[in-house]
Amino acid sequence: MNIITLLTDFGLNDAYVGIMKGVILSINPYVQIIDISHSVTPQDITQSAYLISSAYKYFPQNTIHIVVVDPGVGSQRQIIAAKINGHIFICSNNGILSLIMDKNDVEIEEIICIDNDEYFLKPVSKTFHGRDIFAPIAAHLSKGIPLKKIGTAFNQDKVVKLNIAKPFISTKNELIGQVVHIDHFGNLITNIDSETLRKFNKIPSMFKILINSNEINGIFDTYTDVEIGQPIALIGSSGFLEISVNSGKGSDYFNVKNGVNIKIQTKTKKEDECLL
Amino acid sequence: MNIITLLTDFGLNDAYVGIMKGVILSINPYVQIIDISHSVTPQDITQSAYLISSAYKYFPQNTIHIVVVDPGVGSQRQIIAAKINGHIFICSNNGILSLIMDKNDVEIEEIICIDNDEYFLKPVSKTFHGRDIFAPIAAHLSKGIPLKKIGTAFNQDKVVKLNIAKPFISTKNELIGQVVHIDHFGNLITNIDSETLRKFNKIPSMFKILINSNEINGIFDTYTDVEIGQPIALIGSSGFLEISVNSGKGSDYFNVKNGVNIKIQTKTKKEDECLL
Amino acid sequence: MNIITLLTDFGLNDAYVGIMKGVILSINPYVQIIDISHSVTPQDITQSAYLISSAYKYFPQNTIHIVVVDPGVGSQRQIIAAKINGHIFICSNNGILSLIMDKNDVEIEEIICIDNDEYFLKPVSKTFHGRDIFAPIAAHLSKGIPLKKIGTAFNQDKVVKLNIAKPFISTKNELIGQVVHIDHFGNLITNIDSETLRKFNKIPSMFKILINSNEINGIFDTYTDVEIGQPIALIGSSGFLEISVNSGKGSDYFNVKNGVNIKIQTKTKKEDECLL
């Protein structure tokens, strides 16, 4: 059975998501449709790039992932279908694939600019390409139509990349990163991956983490390694440094928003101190 | 594979929607269940009439659409099953089908008052007919039981119609309409369809649209036809006039709520003006 | 076709729920996944115990129910799989099954402590066992692997029970209960079931219900038995006493929160009064 996933900024109050599913099932009633989320902040491409890159790899090979976060709908922006790492992505060419294509070991198999209107739902509206283009193209692909039939080969250098902040080491030898996502639990997920941390310093207990004039000492394994209500730094489930509060909300505790900087320093061992 | 859609005002915090799906799958485990929305404002029949009429036609023929927005649950109100335009609708007889039945080309094939309790879940509660009547009836229909088995033939004149505002032309020759839905993006969707507009005036650039003491000139194709943050009028994806703001919220910009009036005037061409 | 249900406190803004579905479908693409809710208040075990106990029995026998409300994730808490009343539950051993196991007629068939990591997703994170343990275990069970293969037999006396309030009769011969859930409509669902009420007094019209210094007389059948905007007491769809307002919100009307006490008195028949 084929799988199509949906990631949009449509919310759940309107019928838009249901309509896209209706279009898909009208073409292929045997496909399984799975929601990643429909609560992307309207028009937030960076957030959707983060969400799809963290989710897609847990689905079976050949899953088709539709992402509709598309402030340019109806304008001259391109819609692309990309086969990457064995998965197919359908999205506007606006940077959504940045974090997926950014990896060293990425395998970009094929990119198509979708311009064959034979598979579109007619008449094509100017404001709801999710319904008229993304959904029917995904449904036809799920039935086995090859990618090259839906449009024109597209050079991967033309795929738009977001200018997403990367962690760096400052002149004071501090590792500077950024909060890139705040989840439902208020966990602050940063752009610092475990590999970058390891290169910066090999001993987790030696880290001092500074965020909005607060200080956290050491990196631990799991929320319950500190008391309830206490802050903690750990490597989260997606492999990035995360600032949390045991049974609380890091976002409230530190009073921070997406995009805030975090600094990591290495503690100097004092004479009378015995660090692990 | 058969499809059942769900549109309710149950929200997503309780188990009510999951329970209905459990009842359906206990009777027909092979059916595919699709959510239209569960965030209808509690007891808002007009909103659910709008949502189901905009969504149903994108599903395959013979899809069964359950709508549970039912302030009269447990009272003497009727529950009906209606085959219209090749789709089956199950809802209370409270006006939910108004916008679907209101079309000139509607094909009403069969209407049944559901009163055969053989297919109900027993004991039937007085407060959750979604679980005890709507869900099991839909599941049995999806297995191929004919409509006439679930109840008594019902005259279509007895189907309740909502008194929904329609656009009209005022004595000052203005086209007067109403905002009937504000979507997740803050787009103001009106009751003025493109056909009505065309009859009123053939030249889109000649329109002046008045809303809450603001003025918009002309009707355009797509959000990006104006600068970011600027208001725009366009024909939306469901074929109705829509007032939006490019990458913003029309509802905030104009500070309006559902039901507000909008006026459309025809601009008088001045001597020194060259309109498209 | 096998069914897996999901009940979590993950919310719908992140990709966590989608990721769990991806893991399940990677192992068993033929399973049907149904959401109970993902809006449990973060870490609220009592609420999730209430929701799963009210929902599970409407699903077919052998449905697998995953509940991830897990403040202790990554610590030494156990994860269990329990076959009860023909259904399989996968959850942390933190009290989630309390209301299901609490019934007089419960049939506990088998309980396993999940400790065979052969079926886990590797590497197992310390913070997302929903993805790495719950989801793959459920998927493997849905393919027919017997429970005993996933871990060690577990004594049912070791299953954690919540200390959940039960109704009692006070020295003044009042029945004292508690609001245990406030649903999307603002209905106040109590812990007083119809059986307990019947034992307290056989005549529904003889009840006087006291809540936050308000008084409701009698127990009725359905919301519309009182005028719009008026409060009413009735036996709700899950068999418990419920305080509601016809077409309104009981939670606003009475200005109460979860956990508030309610008192039920028996009215004394006065000489000049004729009660039903």
DSSP secondary structure letters along B60-123: PTT-EEEEE--TTTTSS--EEEEEETTEEEEEESSSTTHHHHTSTT--EEEEEEE--GGGS-SS
What does DSSP assign to residue A222? Answer: S
| Residue C137: predicted pLDDT | 98
**Cα–Cα dist C81/C154, whole Å:** 9
Of all residues in chain A, the one with the smallest CA distance to B6 is A18
- Closest-CA distance of chain B to residue A199, Å: 41
Amino acid at A25: L
The burial of A180, by beta-carbon neighbours within 10 Å (0-12 exposed, 13-18 middle, 19 or more buried), is given as buried
**Cα–Cα dist A253/A238, whole Å:** 22
Read off the pLDDT of residues B171-210 as tens digits, 9 standing for 90 and up: 999 999 999 999 999 999 999 999 899 888 877 668 899 9
CB within 8 Å of C159: residues ≥ 6 apart: C80, C82, C93, C97, C101, C111
CB within 8 Å of B12: residues ≥ 6 apart: A12, B38, B39, C12, C37, C38, C39
CA C165 centroid distance within chain: 14
**Closest Cβ opposite residue A21 in set B34, B56, B185:** B34
- Closest-CA distance of chain B to residue A74, Å: 6
The answer for A 167-206 residues in CB contact with C (under 8 A) is 181, 183-185
Chain C residues with CB under 8 Å of A12 CB are 12
Average pLDDT over residues B13-40: 97
Q: Report helix, strand or coil for A93.
A: coil
Cβ atoms of A86 and A62 closer than 8 Å = yes
Of all residues in chain B, the one with the smallest CA distance to A130 is B237
CA torsion sign for A149, A151, A156, A159 is: negative
| Residue B20: predicted pLDDT | 98
Amino acid at C159: V
The answer for C 242-271 residues in CB contact with B (under 8 A) is 242, 247
- Whether cis (ω within 30° of 0) applies to the bond prior to C136 is no
Average pLDDT over residues A71-94: 93
Cβ atoms of A39 and A13 closer than 8 Å = no
Cβ atoms of C32 and B31 closer than 8 Å = no
**Closest Cβ opposite residue C26 in set A32, A60, A181:** A60
Of all residues in chain A, the one with the smallest CA distance to B59 is A22
Q: What is the mean pLDDT of chain A?
A: 92
Chain B residues with CB under 8 Å of C234 CB are 126-127
**Closest Cβ opposite residue B18 in set C5, C185, C224:** C5
Beta carbons within 10 angstroms of residue B252's beta carbon: 10
**The pLDDT of residue A154 is above 70:** yes
Chain A residues with CB under 8 Å of C25 CB are 3, 32, 34, 59-60
**Cα–Cα dist B19/C263, whole Å:** 30
| Residue B276: predicted pLDDT | 46
Is residue A42 within 8 angstroms of chain C, CB to CB? Answer: no
**Cα–Cα dist C251/B34, whole Å:** 31
- % residues pLDDT > 70 (chain A): 96
| Residue A130: predicted pLDDT | 97
| Residue C276: predicted pLDDT | 46
**The pLDDT of residue B76 is above 90:** no
Amino acid at B50: Y
Is residue B54 within 8 angstroms of chain A, CB to CB? Answer: yes
Chain B residues with CB under 8 Å of C7 CB are 15, 18
What does DSSP assign to residue A197? Answer: H
**Cα–Cα dist A253/C16, whole Å:** 23
C64-68 and C3-8 strand pairing: parallel
Q: Between residues B1 and B267, which one has the greater pLDDT?
A: B267
- Label residue B261 by pLDDT band (50, 70, 90): very high
**Cα–Cα dist B88/B111, whole Å:** 9
Q: What is the mean pLDDT of chain B?
A: 92
Task: For chain C, list residues with pLDDT below 70.
Answer: 1, 204-205, 268-276
CA distances from A51 to A7, A63, A93, C19, C42 (A): 8, 16, 17, 10, 21
Beta carbons within 10 angstroms of residue A253's beta carbon: 19
> Is C36's CB within 8 Å of B42's CB?
no
Helices and strands per DSSP (H, E), number in chain A? 7, 15
Average pLDDT over residues B68-90: 93
> Is A18's CB within 8 Å of B37's CB?
yes
The backbone torsions φ and ψ at residue C4, rounded to the nearest 5 degrees and listed phi first, read -120, 130
State which H helix or E strand residue C177 sits in: strand C175-182
Q: Between residues C94 and B258, which one has the greater pLDDT?
A: C94
Of all residues in chain C, the one with the smallest CA distance to A233 is C127
Average pLDDT over residues A124-146: 96
Closest CA to A88 of A142, A33, A130: A142
**Cα–Cα dist B269/B90, whole Å:** 51
Chain A residues with CB under 8 Å of C18 CB are 5, 7, 34-37, 55
- Closest-CA distance of chain A to residue C230, Å: 28
What the block records as the tokens of B195 is 């056909």
- Around C123, how many Cα atoms within 13 Å sit in the side-chain half-sphere? 8
> Is A42's CB within 8 Å of B184's CB?
yes
**The pLDDT of residue A77 is above 80:** yes
Cβ atoms of A162 and A46 closer than 8 Å = yes
What the block records as the tokens of B63 is 């899809």
CB within 8 Å of C146: residues ≥ 6 apart: none
Read off the pLDDT of residues C212-238 as tens digits, 9 standing for 90 and up: 889 999 898 888 889 999 999 999 998
**The pLDDT of residue A275 is above 60:** no
**Cα–Cα dist C219/C226, whole Å:** 11
Is residue A41 within 8 angstroms of chain C, CB to CB? Answer: no
Is residue C33 within 8 angstroms of chain A, CB to CB? Answer: yes
Is residue A11 within 8 angstroms of chain C, CB to CB? Answer: no
What the block records as the tokens of B125 is 């509660």
Beta carbons within 10 angstroms of residue C53's beta carbon: 19
Is residue C139 within 8 angstroms of chain A, CB to CB? Answer: no
Closest CA to A25 of A2, A56, A59: A2
- Closest-CA distance of chain A to residue B76, Å: 30
- Best mutation target among C12, C59, C189 (most B Cβ atoms within 10 Å) is C59
Read off the pLDDT of residues B171-181 as tens digits, 9 standing for 90 and up: 999 999 999 99
Cβ atoms of B106 and B79 closer than 8 Å = no
> Is C1's CB within 8 Å of B30's CB?
yes
Q: Between residues A203 and B122, which one has the greater pLDDT?
A: B122
**The pLDDT of residue B224 is above 90:** no
The burial of C229, by beta-carbon neighbours within 10 Å (0-12 exposed, 13-18 middle, 19 or more buried), is given as exposed
Chain B residues with CB under 8 Å of A15 CB are 7, 36-37, 51-52, 54-55
| Residue B269: predicted pLDDT | 61
Is residue C123 within 8 angstroms of chain A, CB to CB? Answer: no
- Please give the full DSSP string across C67-131, using - where no structure is assigned: EE--TTTTSS--EEEEEETTEEEEEESSSTTHHHHTSTT--EEEEEEE--GGGSPSSPPSS-HII
> Is B34's CB within 8 Å of A29's CB?
no
| Residue C270: predicted pLDDT | 59
Read off the pLDDT of residues A166-210 as tens digits, 9 standing for 90 and up: 999 999 999 999 999 999 999 999 999 999 998 888 776 688 999
**The pLDDT of residue A274 is above 60:** no
- Best mutation target among B57, B67, B224, B225 (most A Cβ atoms within 10 Å) is B224
Q: Report helix, strand or coil for C197.
A: helix
- Label residue B98 by pLDDT band (50, 70, 90): very high
Of all residues in chain B, the one with the smallest CA distance to C53 is B15
| Residue A268: predicted pLDDT | 67
> Is A183's CB within 8 Å of C23's CB?
no
